[in-house]
Protein backbone atom coordinates (compact mmCIF):
# COMPACT_ATOMS: atom_id res chain seq x y z
CA UNK A 1 0.00 0.00 0.00
CA UNK A 2 1.19 3.43 -0.83
CA UNK A 3 2.39 5.41 2.16
CA UNK A 4 1.14 8.78 0.92
CA UNK A 5 -2.49 7.86 0.35
CA UNK A 6 -2.62 5.74 3.50
CA UNK A 7 -1.52 8.68 5.60
CA UNK A 8 -3.93 11.05 3.94
CA UNK A 9 -7.00 8.98 4.47
CA UNK A 10 -6.20 7.88 7.99
CA UNK A 11 -5.91 11.52 9.03
CA UNK A 12 -9.24 12.25 7.37
CA UNK A 13 -10.87 9.43 9.32
CA UNK A 14 -9.42 10.71 12.56
CA UNK A 15 -10.66 14.23 12.03
CA UNK A 16 -14.20 13.15 11.14
CA UNK A 17 -14.31 10.83 14.17
CA UNK A 18 -13.09 13.44 16.61
CA UNK A 19 -15.54 16.00 15.24
CA UNK A 20 -18.56 13.75 15.76
CA UNK A 21 -17.33 12.49 19.14
CA UNK A 22 -17.50 16.00 20.54
CA UNK A 23 -21.20 16.46 20.00
CA UNK A 24 -22.90 13.12 20.45
CA UNK A 25 -26.38 13.36 22.01
CA UNK A 26 -28.80 10.43 22.27
CA UNK A 27 -31.50 12.19 20.22
CA UNK A 28 -29.53 12.71 17.06
CA UNK A 29 -27.11 9.84 17.58
CA UNK A 30 -28.36 8.00 14.51
CA UNK A 31 -27.95 11.08 12.31
CA UNK A 32 -24.40 11.52 13.60
CA UNK A 33 -23.61 7.90 12.95
CA UNK A 34 -24.99 8.15 9.43
CA UNK A 35 -22.96 11.29 8.71
CA UNK A 36 -19.85 9.61 10.12
CA UNK A 37 -20.33 6.66 7.81
CA UNK A 38 -20.90 9.00 4.91
CA UNK A 39 -17.71 10.90 5.76
CA UNK A 40 -15.76 7.63 5.90
CA UNK A 41 -17.17 6.57 2.57
CA UNK A 42 -16.37 9.95 1.02
CA UNK A 43 -12.81 9.94 2.30
CA UNK A 44 -12.38 6.44 0.86
CA UNK A 45 -13.64 7.55 -2.55
CA UNK A 46 -11.51 10.70 -2.43
CA UNK A 47 -8.38 8.86 -1.45
CA UNK A 48 -8.88 6.33 -4.23
CA UNK A 49 -9.47 8.99 -6.88
CA UNK A 50 -6.34 10.82 -5.67
CA UNK A 51 -4.56 7.48 -5.77
CA UNK A 52 -5.27 7.14 -9.48
CA UNK A 53 -4.02 10.61 -10.38
CA UNK A 54 -0.60 10.65 -8.68
CA UNK A 55 2.46 8.50 -9.11
CA UNK A 56 2.63 5.74 -6.59
CA UNK A 57 5.95 5.15 -4.93
CA UNK A 58 6.73 2.88 -2.01
CA UNK A 59 9.24 4.13 0.48
CA UNK A 60 11.07 2.16 3.15
CA UNK A 61 10.90 4.98 5.66
CA UNK A 62 9.34 8.42 6.22
CA UNK A 63 12.85 9.89 5.89
CA UNK A 64 13.11 8.56 2.36
CA UNK A 65 9.72 9.99 1.50
CA UNK A 66 10.74 13.38 2.91
CA UNK A 67 13.98 13.22 0.94
CA UNK A 68 12.07 12.43 -2.25
CA UNK A 69 9.59 15.24 -1.71
CA UNK A 70 12.37 17.71 -0.92
CA UNK A 71 14.27 16.79 -4.07
CA UNK A 72 11.36 16.93 -6.50
CA UNK A 73 10.45 20.33 -5.05
CA UNK A 74 13.99 21.59 -5.55
CA UNK A 75 14.76 20.12 -8.97
CA UNK A 76 13.55 21.89 -12.07
CA UNK A 77 11.89 20.26 -15.07
CA UNK A 78 14.23 20.69 -18.07
CA UNK A 79 11.34 20.66 -20.57
CA UNK A 80 8.62 22.81 -19.03
CA UNK A 81 10.96 25.42 -17.67
CA UNK A 82 9.84 27.38 -14.59
CA UNK A 83 8.20 24.31 -13.10
CA UNK A 84 9.77 21.94 -10.65
CA UNK A 85 9.60 18.17 -11.02
CA UNK A 86 6.82 17.96 -8.45
CA UNK A 87 4.62 20.28 -10.47
CA UNK A 88 5.33 18.89 -13.91
CA UNK A 89 3.77 16.03 -15.84
CA UNK A 90 6.12 16.17 -18.85
CA UNK A 91 7.55 12.76 -19.82
CA UNK A 92 11.08 13.85 -18.94
CA UNK A 93 9.91 15.08 -15.52
CA UNK A 94 8.31 11.69 -14.90
CA UNK A 95 11.57 10.02 -15.89
CA UNK A 96 13.56 12.25 -13.58
CA UNK A 97 11.16 11.62 -10.72
CA UNK A 98 11.50 7.89 -11.34
CA UNK A 99 15.29 8.26 -11.39
CA UNK A 100 15.22 10.26 -8.16
CA UNK A 101 13.08 7.57 -6.57
CA UNK A 102 15.38 4.78 -7.78
CA UNK A 103 18.44 6.55 -6.43
CA UNK A 104 16.78 7.17 -3.07
CA UNK A 105 15.89 3.47 -2.87
CA UNK A 106 19.56 2.72 -3.53
CA UNK A 107 20.31 4.82 -0.47
CA UNK A 108 22.03 7.68 -2.28
CA UNK A 109 22.36 11.04 -0.53
CA UNK A 110 20.82 14.33 -1.68
CA UNK A 111 24.25 15.55 -2.77
CA UNK A 112 24.83 12.46 -4.92
CA UNK A 113 21.43 12.79 -6.62
CA UNK A 114 21.97 16.51 -7.23
CA UNK A 115 25.40 15.80 -8.70
CA UNK A 116 23.90 13.15 -10.98
CA UNK A 117 21.27 15.58 -12.28
CA UNK A 118 23.74 18.45 -12.62
CA UNK A 119 26.12 16.33 -14.64
CA UNK A 120 23.36 15.79 -17.20
CA UNK A 121 21.39 19.01 -17.11
CA UNK A 122 23.79 21.56 -15.68
CA UNK A 123 23.16 24.09 -12.92
CA UNK A 124 19.84 24.81 -14.57
CA UNK A 125 18.32 21.63 -13.15
CA UNK A 126 18.16 22.90 -9.59
CA UNK A 127 16.39 25.90 -8.15
CA UNK A 128 19.15 26.04 -5.53
CA UNK A 129 22.31 26.85 -7.50
CA UNK A 130 25.68 25.77 -6.07
CA UNK A 131 27.90 28.34 -4.36
CA UNK A 132 30.92 29.03 -6.56
CA UNK A 133 32.68 32.17 -7.86
CA UNK A 134 30.31 32.54 -10.81
CA UNK A 135 27.27 32.42 -8.52
CA UNK A 136 28.69 34.54 -5.70
CA UNK A 137 26.80 37.59 -6.88
CA UNK A 138 23.57 35.60 -6.70
CA UNK A 139 24.17 34.39 -3.17
CA UNK A 140 26.01 37.28 -1.54
CA UNK A 141 24.77 40.43 -3.26
CA UNK A 142 21.34 40.66 -1.54
CA UNK A 143 22.63 40.22 2.06
CA UNK A 144 25.57 42.51 1.29
CA UNK A 145 23.19 45.17 -0.03
CA UNK A 146 21.10 44.81 3.10
CA UNK A 147 24.12 45.23 5.35
CA UNK A 148 25.33 48.28 3.41
CA UNK A 149 21.87 49.84 3.59
CA UNK A 150 21.61 49.22 7.34
CA UNK A 151 25.08 50.71 7.94
CA UNK A 152 24.24 53.68 5.73
CA UNK A 153 20.97 54.27 7.51
CA UNK A 154 22.68 54.01 10.91
CA UNK A 155 25.38 56.46 9.90
CA UNK A 156 22.84 58.86 8.45
CA UNK A 157 20.64 58.88 11.56
CA UNK A 158 23.68 59.34 13.79
CA UNK A 159 24.85 62.31 11.74
CA UNK A 160 21.43 63.96 11.76
CA UNK A 161 21.35 63.49 15.55
CA UNK A 162 24.69 65.26 15.85
CA UNK A 163 23.48 68.09 13.62
CA UNK A 164 20.36 68.42 15.73
CA UNK A 165 22.47 68.71 18.88
CA UNK A 166 24.32 71.57 17.18
CA UNK A 167 27.81 70.14 17.43
CA UNK A 168 29.53 69.90 14.11
CA UNK A 169 32.49 67.59 13.85
CA UNK A 170 34.14 69.82 11.27
CA UNK A 171 34.29 72.85 13.63
CA UNK A 172 35.77 70.87 16.49
CA UNK A 173 38.46 69.34 14.32
CA UNK A 174 39.52 72.58 12.67
CA UNK A 175 39.60 74.45 15.97
CA UNK A 176 41.92 71.81 17.44
CA UNK A 177 44.24 71.96 14.43
CA UNK A 178 44.77 75.72 14.45
CA UNK A 179 48.18 77.27 14.98
CA UNK A 180 48.72 80.16 17.40
CA UNK A 181 48.73 82.76 14.60
CA UNK A 182 45.53 81.34 13.13
CA UNK A 183 43.94 81.35 16.56
CA UNK A 184 44.73 85.01 17.00
CA UNK A 185 43.27 85.71 13.55
CA UNK A 186 40.18 83.72 14.40
CA UNK A 187 39.73 85.60 17.66
CA UNK A 188 40.02 88.88 15.83
CA UNK A 189 37.40 87.81 13.25
CA UNK A 190 35.10 86.41 15.91
CA UNK A 191 35.22 89.55 18.00
CA UNK A 192 34.41 91.56 14.90
CA UNK A 193 31.53 89.30 13.94
CA UNK A 194 30.36 89.41 17.55
CA UNK A 195 30.22 93.20 17.44
CA UNK A 196 28.42 92.91 14.08
CA UNK A 197 26.01 90.44 15.54
CA UNK A 198 25.44 92.73 18.48
CA UNK A 199 24.63 95.64 16.19
CA UNK A 200 22.42 93.34 14.07
CA UNK A 201 20.69 92.20 17.19
CA UNK A 202 20.14 95.80 18.10
CA UNK A 203 18.69 96.49 14.67
CA UNK A 204 16.36 93.48 14.75
CA UNK A 205 15.26 94.36 18.24
CA UNK A 206 14.46 97.90 17.16
CA UNK A 207 12.62 96.46 14.12
CA UNK A 208 10.68 94.18 16.41
CA UNK A 209 9.75 97.11 18.54
CA UNK A 210 8.32 98.84 15.48
Partner 1 sequence: MTKSNHFSEQPPETKGNRTMKKSQIRIWFLIPLIIFAAVMVMLYFRLGQPTEIVTNTALERPVPAFELPLLSDTSRIMTNDNLPDEPFLMNIWGSWCPTCVIEHPFLMQLEERGVNLVGVNYKDDIGDALGYLNRGGDPFSMSIQDLSGQFALDLGLTGAPETFVVDGQGIIRQHIVGEINESNWQSRIMPCLMVLNEADKKNVSPDPSQVQEVCK
Task: Give residues in contact with partner 1 (CB under 8 A).
Answer: 78-79, 81, 90-92, 95-96, 99, 119-122, 124-125, 163, 166, 168, 190, 193-194, 196-198, 201
CA 209 to chain centre: 65
- CB nearer to partner 1: give 26 or 166: 166
Least Å distance, CB 13 to partner 1, is: 38
Least Å distance, CB 79 to partner 1, is: 5
- CB nearer to partner 1: give 95 or 182: 95
Least Å distance, CB 102 to partner 1, is: 10
Taking Cα atoms as reference points, which of 55, 68, 74, 162 lies closest to residue 106?
68
Integer Cα distance of 61 and 163 in angstroms: 65
Integer Cα distance of 33 and 23 in angstroms: 11
- CB nearer to partner 1: give 119 or 173: 119
Taking Cα atoms as reference points, which of 143, 144, 142, 115 lies closest to residue 130?
115
Least Å distance, CB 91 to partner 1, is: 7
Q: Which residues of 33-69 are buried (b: 16+ CB within 10 A; e: fewer)?
A: eeebeebeeebeeebeeebeeeeebebeeeebbebbe
- CB nearer to partner 1: give 38 or 190: 190
Amino acid sequence: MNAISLKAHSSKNMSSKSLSAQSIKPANFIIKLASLMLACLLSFILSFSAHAAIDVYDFDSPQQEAQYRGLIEELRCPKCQNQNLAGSDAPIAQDLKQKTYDMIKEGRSDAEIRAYMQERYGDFITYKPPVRPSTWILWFFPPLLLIVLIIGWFWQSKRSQRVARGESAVNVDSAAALSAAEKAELDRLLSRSNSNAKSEAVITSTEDKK
